Amino acid sequence: MLVVRSKMLGFATNTFRTARTVGIRFASTSNLKKTLIYDEHIKLGGQMVDFADWAMPVQYKDHPKADSIINSVKHVRTKTGLFDVSHMCSLRWRGKDAIAFLESVTVADIENLAMGKGTLSVIPNENGGIIDDTMITKTSDEKGDHIYQVINAGCAVKDLEFFKQKLGKFGGDVSMEVQWEDRGLYALQGPEAVKVMQRLIPVYDFKYMNFGDAQNMVMDGMQIFVARCGYTGEDGFEIFVPGENAVKLWRKLIDQPEVHPAGLGARDTLRLEAGLCLYGHDIDDTTTPTMAGLSWTVGKGRREPGARPFTGSDTILKQVAEGPKSVPKMRVGIMSTGAPAREGAEISLPSGEVVGKVTSGAVSPILKQNIAMGYINRPHNKTGTEVVVTVRGKSNPGTVVKMPFVPTQYYKAP
């Protein structure tokens, strides 16, 4: 049985520069899609931009809680920031064959995933390239056990089409429910996020909730779905709320004394400091999990003989088994001097041989140093390799380094 249900409404001022936020366009937002709390962003002084056809805040100004991008990054690292990530697309997969279907289109070992646990995964194409990266969580609600998934806003339309094509060939008992413009999705990130949540939901003891754990909860009478995860490298939570309470929940969270609103500028810098990929820049449909350093997303159960195959599994499993030697280039971290390297900057050896290209770059507000990630041909990808990064025609010395640049603070229960 194939059922596809859809609720989708439509198919710094400081001494150095932060990341030039990628994927955004500074243009009129009048014809863009808006999240349910668009007006709240305006009230907070949100500077709205075009991001994947959504009007999203790049930063906030002219409000007591507004920060420059640099200070917003620092606030998330030391206290707590709140991001509206409602532009991302949520899916709920139901039916007795839902796990089998999702395992056929992702590399996740969902069968062996514990109830209430989530994991990062990728959606591969036939060649083993990455169509999108995604979060997958095994959960339950009043309708029963199901899989909750989040996909990127800029990839959602193509992802949904890919899933529909695969569903048409699958023929099992699985249904896809799309929740996009009719709900709120917020990321509360930073070392004080748990203190905020404990205050607002005192009946729940968050010290037993590890990174990746998820649970249905109630806050001030609102039914919410909370996952301990995020895209900043810090401890934190992503919170799903039905549309009727989207504004109420945002206001409840933003009113907490530790919490400042944070926009796309801070989010891009934070994820780069944490060594996390941005789809369409650091990973795309030509990069495989092994090339991207994401072989760990291929679940252990998916690698065993006789395991359920998935799209591109022949290529991906071969590369995972053989390791980096099976691919021509690898994603690496780079620290350099001079002007910060941006996407597209060439990476060379001191001899002049071009060996790679930058995919993301910024000045880290925490390290106060240039950081970048990109792809370098093997064997020049080894940590400690001296390289030259070309920025606006000028050659700047750099070094291949391990990531994350800033140590991550994901929570693990004692």
Digit-coded pLDDT (tens) for 346-372:
999 999 999 999 999 999 999 999 999
By the 8 A CB rule, do 20 and 29 touch? no
Is 411 a member of any domain? no
How far, in Å, CA of 85 to CA of 180, rounded? Answer: 11
Angle of helix 246-254 relative to helix 193-200, nearest 10 degrees, comes to: 120
User: Annotated binding residue at 177?
Assistant: no
Query: Span 141-168, mean pLDDT?
Result: 97
pLDDT of residue 23: 53
Whether residues 251 and 356 share a domain: the answer is no
* 414 pLDDT tier (thresholds 50, 70, 90): confident
Kindly state whether residue 408 falls inside one of the protein's structural domains. no
Q: CA–CA separation, 351 vs 12, rounded Å?
A: 37
For the ranges 18-32, 238-252, 399-413, the lowest mean pLDDT is seen at: 18-32
Question: For 261-299, where are the alpha helices, taking DSSP H only?
Answer: 264-273
Q: What is the pLDDT of residue 326?
A: 97
pLDDT tens figures, 254-293 = 999 999 999 999 999 999 999 999 999 999 999 999 999 9
Average pLDDT over residues 80-94: 98
Domain presence at residue 247: yes
Confidence label for 28 from pLDDT (cuts 50, 70 and 90): low
The enclosing domain of 40 has a CATH number of: 3.30.1360.120
Residues 6 and 108 in one domain: yes
Residue 52 pLDDT > 90: yes
Segments forming the whole domain that contains residue 389: 329-403
What's the whole-number mean pLDDT along residues 125-137? 98
Q: How many CB atoms lie within 10 A of CB 281?
A: 17
Strand pairing report for 54-60 and 33-34: parallel
- The tokens describing 197, both together, are 């949540």
Would you state the pLDDT for residue 337? 97
| pLDDT tens-place string over residues 203-243 | 999 999 999 999 999 999 999 999 999 999 999 999 999 99
Characterize the bridge pairing of strands 354-364 and 130-141: unpaired
Q: Are residues 307 and 358 in the same domain?
A: no
Could you tell me if residue 74 is inside a domain?
yes
Same domain? 246 vs 276: yes
Distance, in Å, from the CA atom of 398 to the CA atom of 257, rounded to the nearest integer, reads 41
What confidence score (pLDDT) does residue 8 get?
31
- Asked if 171 and 25 sit in the same domain, the reply is yes
CA angle 72, 80, 138 (to 5 degrees): 120
The mean pLDDT of 292-310, rounded to a whole number, is 96
pLDDT digits (tens, 9 = 90+) for 113-130: 999 999 999 999 999 999
Q: Which of 299, 327, 355 is the last residue of a domain?
A: 327
Tell whether 102 and 183 lie within a shared domain. Answer: yes
Q: Are strands 118-124 and 346-348 parallel, antiparallel or unpaired?
A: unpaired
The confidence score (pLDDT) of residue 4 equals 39
Closest CA to 333 of 358, 369, 298: 358
| Whether pLDDT at 17 is above 90 | no
My answer on whether 133 and 215 are in the same domain is yes
Q: Are residues 231 and 350 in the same domain?
A: no
Same domain, 265 and 382: no
What string of DSSP letters covers 6-19? E--S----SSS---
pLDDT bucket at 96, cuts 50 / 70 / 90: very high
Phi-psi region of 182 (alpha: psi -120 to 50; beta: other; left: phi over 0): alpha
Last residue of a domain, one of 270, 301, 327: 327
Q: What is the pLDDT of residues 323-336, one digit of tens each?
A: 999 999 999 999 99
Q: Would you give the distance in Å from CA 361 to the centre of its chain?
A: 17
Q: Tell me, yes or no, whether 320 and 375 share the same domain.
A: no
Phi-psi label, residue 52: left if phi above 0, alpha if psi -120 to 50, beta otherwise: left
C-beta separation of 48 from 29 below 8 A: yes
309-332 mean pLDDT: 98
Query: In this predicted structure, what is the pLDDT of residue 33?
Result: 97
Tell me if 85 is assigned to some domain.
yes
Report the number of distinct structural domains present in the chain: 2
- Residue 7 has a pLDDT of 34
Instruction: Assess if residue 410 is contained within a domain.
Output: no
Determine what percent of the chain is predicted with pLDDT higher than 90: 92
- According to DSSP, the residues that pair with 389 across neighbouring strands are 347, 396
Pull the structure tokens for residue 345.
């900057």
CATH number for 374: 2.40.30.110
Give the 3-state DSSP-derived string for 109-169, with helices as H, strands as E and coil as C.
CCCCCCCCEEEEEEEECCCCCEEEEEEEEEEEECCEEEEEEEECHHHHHHHHHHHHHHHHH
pLDDT-derived band at 18 (thresholds 50, 70, 90) equals very low
Q: If you average pLDDT over residues 301-318, what whole number do you get? A: 97
Looking at 3-17, 164-178, 208-222, 286-300, which range is the least confident one? 3-17
> Which tokens is 115 given?
């109830």
pLDDT at 10 over 60: no
Number of H helices and E strands in the chain, helices first, is 9, 22
Choice among 7-11, 110-114, 205-209, 404-408 with the minimum mean pLDDT:
7-11
- Do 106 and 214 belong together in one domain? yes
Verify that 322 and 342 share a domain, yes or no: no
Domain end marker among 327, 352, 368 = 327
- Angle between helix 156-170 and 98-105 (nearest 10): 120
- Predicted confidence band at 29 (pLDDT cuts at 50, 70, 90)? confident
The answer to whether residue 200 sits within a structural domain is yes
Asked whether residue 290 is domain-assigned, the answer is yes
Report helix, strand or coil for 328: coil
